Structure formats: structure tokens, C-alpha cells
């Protein structure tokens, strides 16, 4: 690698970092606006879709708890996952 290659790579890295920071700032701004939350609340999902969303959240939390070796939390989350799967089964028959 010569100096030109290194400069090119460094320039790309800095460019991507600026883009990521701009995206993060935009997300923070949008996330704080009341209109964004109002739109989210007005989406009105059907119960099965809402249950799938809850299941995805619970599975993510389960993974985090497992990685942190918080097994008591895993047991609680596991029970909630079972309940959520029952709801999904009820609406997808």
C-alpha cells in the first residue's frame, strides 16, 4: 500500500463516519418529535401483527439476557413468549 491508497481509505472511513453521525442526529430529532410518536400510535395493527412484534421484542430481550447470564430474566421472558405464541396461534387459525 502506498500513501495514496492509505489516504483514499482514510477519506472513505471519515466520509462514512460523517454519514452515520448525520443519520444518528436525524433519528434523534425525529424520535423526539410528537408527530412521529402520534403516527406510530395511529398505525392500529391487528392483534396478530402486534403479537408478532411483541414476540420479536421478547426474543431480542431473551438473547440479551442469555448473553448477560441473567437466567431469572430468561425464565420470565420465556413464560411471556409462551403466552404471546398462544395469542398468535389464536389469530392465525
pLDDT in tens, 58-71: 999 999 999 999 99
Cα separation values, 29 from 4, 15, 39, 86, Å: 38, 21, 15, 38
Give the pLDDT confidence of 37-49 residue by residue, as tens digits.
565 566 777 888 8
Scan for cell 448477560, then name that residue: 68
Which pLDDT score, from 0 to 100, does residue 48 have?
Answer: 87
| DSSP result, 59-70 | HHHHHHHHHTT-
Domain boundaries, the chain: 1-43, 45-93
3-state helix, strand, coil in the chain (%, to 5): 85, 0, 15
Amino acid at each position: 500500500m502506498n500513501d495514496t491508497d492509505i489516504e483514499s481509505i482514510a477519506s472513505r472511513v471519515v466520509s462514512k463516519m460523517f454519514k452515520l453521525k448525520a443519520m444518528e442526529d436525524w433519528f434523534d430529532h425525529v424520535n423526539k418529535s410528537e408527530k412521529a410518536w402520534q403516527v406510530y400510535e395511529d398505525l392500529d395493527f391487528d392483534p396478530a401483527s402486534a403479537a408478532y412484534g411483541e414476540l420479536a421484542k421478547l426474543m431480542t430481550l431473551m438473547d440479551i439476557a442469555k448473553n448477560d447470564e441473567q437466567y431469572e430474566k430468561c425464565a420470565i421472558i420465556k413464560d411471556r413468549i409462551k403466552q404471546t405464541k398462544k395469542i398468535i396461534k389464536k389469530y392465525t387459525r
